[in-house]
Chain A
Amino acid sequence: MRPLKILAPVVGIVIGLLAVACSSSETAAQPAQPAPAQQPEPVAAPAQQPQQPMAPAQPAPARPAAPAEMAPAPAQTVAEPIIPVARMVPASDADTNIFSEDRFGGTLIWVPQGSVGNLDSMTSGSAIGRGVSWHFWESLAQWDAQGFINPDMADSWEVDGGTYTFTLRDDLIWHDGTQVLPEDIGASIDRFRQQDKSFSPILNKIWQGFESVDDKTFKITLSEPSALLMTALGYVGGTQPNIMPMETANKYPTGELIQDFVASGPYEFVSWDPGNEIILDRFEDYVPRREEPSYRAGAKLAYFDRLHMKEIPDQETRIAAVLTGTVDFLDVVSSDFYEEALNNVDQVSVHIGIPGAQPDIAFNTQVPLLGFSDSGKKLRQAIQAAVNAEDIMKGYGDSRLWQLCPSLQMCGTPWAEHTDNEALYNQNDPEKAKQLLAESGYNDEPIIILDPTDFPTIHPIAPVLQGQLSAVGINAQIKATDWAGQLAALRSPESWHIFTNWNSSNLYHPLVATHYRVGETTYTEDSATGQTMTMLRDEFAAAATLEEQFAVTRKMADAAWADPRRITFGQFFQLRIYDRDLQDVDIRGAPVGSPLFLNVWWGDSERRADDPR
């Protein structure tokens, strides 16, 4: 009897916990939001001129004894325009006193938007872990706020045909005090080329080899010159081209999550308690670059003694925590709290992260009903015609927190005008939908819409979409699940038809964007559009100028609009709330995407005086 007496409550607990896994939850007990597929990156607006070449970096100590001058305008290596963007801080506003001793000190406590799953941002595309890792990992090159690739660990590079000769910057050391060597770079890039699914499939075709020349110089040889190399080595979204010690790269082969975080960035890894907190301390021996800070490029100053990331799963508690000063910075707050934040602007700063992310749906083209046959295409076009994007976007709250966007790539970036289609976006045309439906031969088959109810920024889509599709005679049904359940459903193609999701950082470059990909779950290789996309992606890789890339992108977008595999609804913005005393949160010019606390500092000297180490 006793074992049974004991077993009963235990079994109850087991069933209870498992029930959580099988059901939705939007209460205070809601599990930490799963990491979204991608996260937003910098706002973009066309730049007029490519950035001037960079000067060799002037080493400076992490905490120089006296203020130093900024580096002169760059001069040598041509920075490659990738995404001519943006929210660049005007030169006149640039702070020339960034090396000042009186900015150093204190602790910043910030709350991420969800739970950090891992810190191996080369393996995982999760935005939350990636954002944290940006403070300690570095890359050979980095994006600036204008969307140009700038040197970072690399001091410069020269291009001779397909041969790229890199020189590492001076005083580059790992957090364990040893020197960064070309062998480390080679091992890191090898690991990256195996993990990365965006650039590397094309890059690997033209990759010929890596060669160390001396302790600071190495060569990468391609069969032909390609702008993709530097784009890949400095890209900010998806899997990251982090540079790590050779031992680390070799110890954790493809697919294995790195657990050793010896890196070379301005902050060094101290500890990580998964699901709770991460602590990073300033790496005192870090020698920053001297150029003006601009997004991830330029001088990266670790002003805080300590960066303390603290996970708080509940939105109400997060708000209370920032208002009472328990924490200093909230990354991505539910739009429900926008008004409350505005009511407390004497206490906190409110920031809207534009352009945010694009909610969308993807069709399951693996099932014949929605496949690449004529009837499948007609049915997908019927759904495209039935969609009222504005009604769906209203689910994202206050109208100041979202916008309509007729482009496949992020509105606010230069790619937007080359991927838009006013005629096919937000049609809200029931009659056209019904006509296409009839032409498709649709016979009231159920159309299953996956709805991850534990994902507040995806869940608004399904209920509204179901109503719109039902209105034109489609037998739309919602299959409610959690995010993990939705991902699992993907592996059973017969169980669903429409996948709800949102995208952001993968919409900043056509080769990363999911809209034009070719594969078994996207445009299949044997489909007409798949063949077109394959040809155009190769054309893009070979394009010599930005204008040529824009032209090819337009063709890819036209093909994607005509044979819709995804339907986008608009863009929702992300709300951030932080302590008013925090200085220069915007100085790097791209305070969206994962937060970057480089060059951010406390204005109050008392807060700077508190060194927790």
Chain B
Amino acid sequence: MLAYIIRRLLTTIPVLVVVGLFTFFLLRLTPGDPAAVIAGNEATHEEYLEIRERLGLDAPLYVQLGKWAGRIVQGDFGTSIRSGKPVFDLVRGRIGPSVSLTIATELVAVLVAIPLGVLAAWKANSLIDRSVMVFAAVGFSVPIFWLGFIMIWVFGLWAFGLDNPILPVAGYVKIGDDLWEYVRHLILPAFSLGLVVIALIARMTRASVLEVLKEDYVRTARAKGIAEPAILIRHALRNASLPILTVVGLSLAGLLSGAVVTESVFAIPGLGRLAVEAIATRDYPIIQAMIILIGGFYVFINLAVDILYAFLDPRIRY
């Protein structure tokens, strides 16, 4: 297992290199550059060229790439062109809110979706099953931002009046500052963002469990008189868990890097907002660092999921 993990970790290096190269060159193909943003609309061409020179954007691409790669190897992600602050500090400050939102969302999704999926499989083709699947279809179709606004309206503005909102409508509180407020500030965004993940996991759970429930060993278990809940959880769900785990893993990585809409709607200072702001101002160092980080997330979560496979299914050995 250890050798496997080391081997997998080593494969992340070429992956991240390719991601880095891809990002670097695609960014340079995007219309606009940070020098143009800094120069604004009144600078002369000479002033614009001075800014390009100061930022090193006048150098050949391979020189820029070499300098950037050299710094990355040393753990230096550079300085934000827009704010002048170290990129590492900016990204580090955004990881906490994004990880919190991701975990809260995934927690909500798993706790709701798996029981729903198992229930739907158990009562396949019944009214319950169809209701769960309709719920999943709706959950998958509802735009996240729309749901966010509805939740803000219901829980913030409408339910108990403006003076007594049940839940805060915007912002983020650090866990170390106030645990209760930390949790309260995550409830609305987690449910808003979680609906689509609930839908995804519920459907996957239903399909997987349904498949397992047709197996001979389940019929045998029933013939032995084992209680239905035990059959569902111990026999069916465990054997159906690999595809569910895959979906949970991929959604984790996606949530961590792609909760842009939810972070904007609920004013959570996470990685998604940082990325969008950086793109709007063509802040190359931040964008490049973010993409590398996101690539790293995917690699790490894929590895974690693969390792978990082995624990859930004794037949899998690395």
Residue of A nearest to B258 (CB): A13
User: Provided the pairs A18-B27, A28-B145 are in contact, do residues A519 and B44 lie with their beta carbons within 8 angstroms?
Assistant: yes
Cβ of B95 within 8 Å of any chain A Cβ, yes or no, is no
Complex Cα–Cα for A317 and B14 (A): 42
| B287 proximity list for chain A (CB < 8 A) | 17
| A483 proximity list for chain B (CB < 8 A) | 280
Complex Cα–Cα for A327 and B33 (A): 35
Question: CB distance A14 to B23 under 8 Å?
Answer: yes
Question: CB distance A28 to B265 under 8 Å?
Answer: yes
Cβ of A202 within 8 Å of any chain B Cβ, yes or no, is no
Of the candidates B14, B258, B280, the one whose C-beta lies within 8 Å of that of A32 is B280
Which of chain A's residues 250-274 have a Cβ closer than 8 Å to chain B? 255-259, 273-274
| A257 proximity list for chain B (CB < 8 A) | 83-84
Complex Cα–Cα for A500 and B75 (A): 42
Q: How far is the CB of B141 from chain A (nearest CB, A)?
A: 16
User: Provided the pairs A10-B298, A454-B280 are in contact, do residues A324 and B82 lie with their beta carbons within 8 angstroms?
Assistant: no
Of the candidates A20, A37, A125, A489, the one whose C-beta lies within 8 Å of that of B31 is A489
Which of chain B's residues 86-108 have a Cβ closer than 8 Å to chain A? 90, 93
Cβ of B182 within 8 Å of any chain A Cβ, yes or no, is no
Cβ of B240 within 8 Å of any chain A Cβ, yes or no, is no
Cβ of A118 within 8 Å of any chain B Cβ, yes or no, is yes
Question: CB distance B169 to A117 under 8 Å?
Answer: no
Question: CB distance B275 to A320 under 8 Å?
Answer: no
Cβ of B215 within 8 Å of any chain A Cβ, yes or no, is no
Residue of A nearest to B267 (CB): A312
Question: CB distance A520 to B11 under 8 Å?
Answer: no
Cβ of B269 within 8 Å of any chain A Cβ, yes or no, is yes
Cβ of B37 within 8 Å of any chain A Cβ, yes or no, is yes
Cβ of A471 within 8 Å of any chain B Cβ, yes or no, is no
* Segment at the interface with A among B131-139, B146-154, B205-213, B229-237: B146-154
| A66 proximity list for chain B (CB < 8 A) | none
Question: CB distance A7 to B90 under 8 Å?
Answer: no
Residue of A nearest to B272 (CB): A29
**Interface size classification for chain A:** 35 or more
| A484 proximity list for chain B (CB < 8 A) | 31-32, 36-37, 280-282
Of the candidates B33, B82, B260, the one whose C-beta lies within 8 Å of that of A118 is B82
- Can you offer 17 A-B residue contacts whose CB atoms are under 8 A? A7-B19, A13-B258, A32-B273, A37-B41, A257-B84, A275-B273, A313-B267, A314-B264, A314-B265, A317-B152, A320-B156, A324-B168, A326-B168, A484-B282, A485-B32, A488-B31, A491-B45
* Segment at the interface with A among B66-74, B116-124, B157-165, B217-225: B157-165
Question: CB distance A324 to B42 under 8 Å?
Answer: no
Of the candidates A276, A323, A519, the one whose C-beta lies within 8 Å of that of B157 is A323
Complex Cα–Cα for A517 and B42 (A): 10
Which of chain A's residues 498-537 have a Cβ closer than 8 Å to chain B? 499, 501, 514, 517, 519-521
| A321 proximity list for chain B (CB < 8 A) | 169-171, 267
Question: CB distance B277 to A273 under 8 Å?
Answer: no
Cβ of A9 within 8 Å of any chain B Cβ, yes or no, is yes
Q: How far is the CB of A420 from chain B (nearest CB, A)?
A: 24
Question: CB distance A20 to B276 under 8 Å?
Answer: yes
Question: CB distance B279 to A21 under 8 Å?
Answer: yes
Which of chain B's residues 277-298 have a Cβ closer than 8 Å to chain A? 277, 279-282, 287, 290-291, 294-295, 298
| A255 proximity list for chain B (CB < 8 A) | 50-51, 54
Cβ of A34 within 8 Å of any chain B Cβ, yes or no, is yes
Question: CB distance B44 to A31 under 8 Å?
Answer: no
Cβ of A206 within 8 Å of any chain B Cβ, yes or no, is no
User: Provided the pairs A22-B31, A485-B31, A487-B36 are in contact, do residues A13 and B294 lie with their beta carbons within 8 angstroms?
Assistant: yes
Question: CB distance B267 to A491 under 8 Å?
Answer: no
Complex Cα–Cα for A305 and B109 (A): 41
User: Provided the pairs A275-B269, A484-B32 are in contact, do residues A2 and B11 lie with their beta carbons within 8 angstroms?
Assistant: yes
Cβ of B130 within 8 Å of any chain A Cβ, yes or no, is no
Cβ of B15 within 8 Å of any chain A Cβ, yes or no, is yes
| A205 proximity list for chain B (CB < 8 A) | none
Cβ of B125 within 8 Å of any chain A Cβ, yes or no, is no
User: Provided the pairs A3-B14, A323-B157 are in contact, do residues A11 and B281 lie with their beta carbons within 8 angstroms?
Assistant: no
Question: CB distance A11 to B40 under 8 Å?
Answer: no
Complex Cα–Cα for A262 and B87 (A): 23
- Interface flags for A442-484 (1: CB within 8 Å of B; 0: not) read 0000000000001000000000000000000000000001111
| Dominant SS among interface residues on chain B | helix
Of the candidates A258, A259, A482, the one whose C-beta lies within 8 Å of that of B280 is A482
Question: CB distance A118 to B291 under 8 Å?
Answer: no
Cβ of B26 within 8 Å of any chain A Cβ, yes or no, is yes
Q: How far is the CB of A114 from chain B (nearest CB, A)?
A: 10
Of the candidates A118, A313, A344, A489, the one whose C-beta lies within 8 Å of that of B84 is A118
Complex Cα–Cα for A490 and B51 (A): 15
Question: CB distance A6 to B42 under 8 Å?
Answer: no
- What's the count of A-B pairs with C-beta under 8 Å? 219
Cβ of B239 within 8 Å of any chain A Cβ, yes or no, is no
Complex Cα–Cα for A311 and B264 (A): 10
Which of chain A's residues 280-327 have a Cβ closer than 8 Å to chain B? 310-314, 316-318, 320-321, 323-327
Cβ of B63 within 8 Å of any chain A Cβ, yes or no, is no
Cβ of B241 within 8 Å of any chain A Cβ, yes or no, is no
Question: CB distance B264 to A37 under 8 Å?
Answer: no
Question: CB distance A487 to B40 under 8 Å?
Answer: yes
Other than A29-B260, A258-B84, A276-B93, give 6 A-B pairs with Cβ distance below 8 A.
Answer: A6-B15, A13-B298, A312-B267, A316-B149, A347-B162, A514-B42
- Interface flags for B1-40 (1: CB within 8 Å of A; 0: not) read 0000000100110110011001100110011110011011
Complex Cα–Cα for A115 and B168 (A): 22
The 10 closest A-B pairs by CB, nearest first: A28-B145, A488-B32, A276-B269, A257-B84, A31-B280, A484-B32, A312-B267, A488-B36, A485-B31, A274-B83
Question: CB distance A6 to B302 under 8 Å?
Answer: yes
Question: CB distance B291 to A320 under 8 Å?
Answer: no
Question: CB distance B30 to A22 under 8 Å?
Answer: yes
Complex Cα–Cα for A27 and B42 (A): 29
Question: CB distance A17 to B291 under 8 Å?
Answer: yes
Cβ of B142 within 8 Å of any chain A Cβ, yes or no, is no
Residue of A nearest to B260 (CB): A29
Question: CB distance B80 to A13 under 8 Å?
Answer: no
Complex Cα–Cα for A488 and B42 (A): 12
Question: CB distance A320 to B90 under 8 Å?
Answer: no
Complex Cα–Cα for A520 and B275 (A): 35
User: Provided the pairs A37-B41, A118-B84 are in contact, do residues A11 and B32 lie with their beta carbons within 8 angstroms?
Assistant: no
| B191 proximity list for chain A (CB < 8 A) | none
Q: How far is the CB of A199 from chain B (nearest CB, A)?
A: 14
Q: How far is the CB of A288 from chain B (nearest CB, A)?
A: 30
| A18 proximity list for chain B (CB < 8 A) | 26-27, 30, 279
| A28 proximity list for chain B (CB < 8 A) | 145, 148-149, 261, 264-265
| B267 proximity list for chain A (CB < 8 A) | 310-314, 317, 321
Complex Cα–Cα for A27 and B145 (A): 8
Question: CB distance B32 to A487 under 8 Å?
Answer: yes
Cβ of A197 within 8 Å of any chain B Cβ, yes or no, is yes
Of the candidates A22, A30, A320, A517, the one whose C-beta lies within 8 Å of that of B264 is A30
| A613 proximity list for chain B (CB < 8 A) | none
Residue of A nearest to B296 (CB): A10
Q: How far is the CB of A197 from chain B (nearest CB, A)?
A: 7
Q: How far is the CB of B17 from chain A (nearest CB, A)?
A: 10
Complex Cα–Cα for A65 and B251 (A): 59
Question: CB distance A125 to B22 under 8 Å?
Answer: no
Question: CB distance B277 to A32 under 8 Å?
Answer: yes
Cβ of B77 within 8 Å of any chain A Cβ, yes or no, is no
| A488 proximity list for chain B (CB < 8 A) | 31-33, 36-37, 282
| A277 proximity list for chain B (CB < 8 A) | 269
